[in-house]
Amino acid sequence: MGHRKELSPPATDDTVPDAVRSALADEEKGDLAKARLRLGSYLAHDPDHAVARTLLVRLCRAAGDPAAAGRWGYLTDDATDAERDAFDAQFGGDRERVHRELNDSTRVSRPSVASQTRISRLPVRTAKETDSQRPSAESSRWPDRLFGLGCLLCLLWSVVLMLLGSWQVAQYVLH
């Protein structure tokens, strides 16, 4: 926690966003999930805020989530190689998918040269490779068909029970 002093903003500093202050307070209370959520939301609006990004990487580490630490520190070199590898592994090392995820969630105006080099080294999957990893349309239809058949049988059983119940009530009323 020696890093803690470096990341703690002064209480009177107006340049530190409220989200960062609140996240630090949440961390002090032990609510890492809430602190991570605050910082992730804040970084969606201000992705270049270095203190918020570094703090989020640290919180992800503390929560035992190396892939998330790799995600948030990937472009700024805040993450370790193991954390970036864990993030890459989520996407099977596919450069296009990693790049798309980084652009969607962690965009920064000036990614580091080292991070750009790491992304360029990832293999690019061809459309054929990507399609071969997906289940075929024919094999994925069977569970849907079985589910539909089960629903139809339940509906049919319910109608039969309703008709039998109605017949019993009619017999009782008429006799």
Write out the chain's pLDDT in tens, 175 residues: 444 444 554 444 556 788 889 999 998 999 999 999 998 888 888 877 888 888 988 999 998 998 888 888 877 777 888 888 888 787 776 666 766 666 555 555 555 555 566 666 655 555 454 555 555 555 567 777 888 899 999 999 999 999 999 999 999 998 8
Beta strands in the chain (DSSP E): none
Residue 30: CA count within 13 A, CB half-sphere:
0
Residue 136: CA count within 13 A, CB half-sphere:
3
Euclidean distance between the first and final Cα of the chain, in Å? 84
Q: What is d(CA 89, CA 86) in angstroms, rounded to the nearest whole number?
A: 5
Do 3 and 54 form a contact (C-beta atoms < 8 A)? no
